[in-house]
């Protein structure tokens, strides 16, 4: 299992950024996927989840209405569209694969991509 995040960088407040997570080594379309972030020197914060078929999506209150999670199974890629970015969105963003049938068990993680929101 390999998950490789990309798309991070420096962006001004109020602007947008799209993160990608390229998956390999497993049948991507069979697994729900998550985004989790970690601000510098801080703890883990769950961001969003998308079901294996993309039909269900849930978000943390802190990103609801600004971030959109999506997936393209033909490309084995997970996305996070981030709009109206704020300084508090500065973090390393990890994608993770969910294992099991319920309970949000995150058994495989990428190495993360850093997003810095600053003017």
Partner 1 sequence: QSALTQPASVSGSPGQSITISCTGTSSDIGGYDYVSWYQQHPGKGPQLIVYEVSYRPSRVSSRFSGSKSGNAASLTISGLQAEDEADYYCSSYTSRSTLIFGGGTKLTVL
Q: Which residues bind partner 1 (CB under 8 A)?
A: 34, 36, 43-46, 49, 58-61, 94, 99-100, 102-107, 109-112
Q: CB nearer to partner 1: give 14 or 100.
A: 100
Q: How far is the CB of 94 from partner 1 (least distance, A)?
A: 6
Provide the minimum distance between the beta carbon of 100 and partner 1 in the complex, in angstroms, as a whole number: 7
Q: Nearer Cβ to partner 1, position 52 or 109?
A: 109
CA distance 100 to 89: 29
Long-range contacts of residues 39-43, Cβ cutoff 8 Å, at least 24 apart: 39/88, 39/90, 39/91, 40/90, 40/91, 40/92, 42/91
């Amino acid at each position: 299992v390999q998950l490789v995040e990309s798309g991070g960088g420096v962006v001004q407040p109020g602007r947008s950024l799209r993160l990608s997570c390229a998956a390999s080594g497993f049948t991507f379309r069979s697994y729900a996927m998550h985004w989790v972030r970690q601000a510098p020197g801080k703890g883990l914060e769950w961001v969003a989840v998308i079901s294996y078929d993309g039909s269900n999506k849930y978000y943390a209150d802190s990103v609801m209405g600004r971030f959109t999670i999506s997936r393209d199974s033909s490309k084995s890629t997970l996305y996070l569209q981030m709009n109206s970015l704020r300084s508090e969105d500065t973090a390393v963003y990890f994608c993770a694969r969910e294992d099991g049938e319920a309970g949000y068990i995150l058994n495989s993680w990428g190495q993360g991509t850093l997003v810095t929101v600053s003017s």
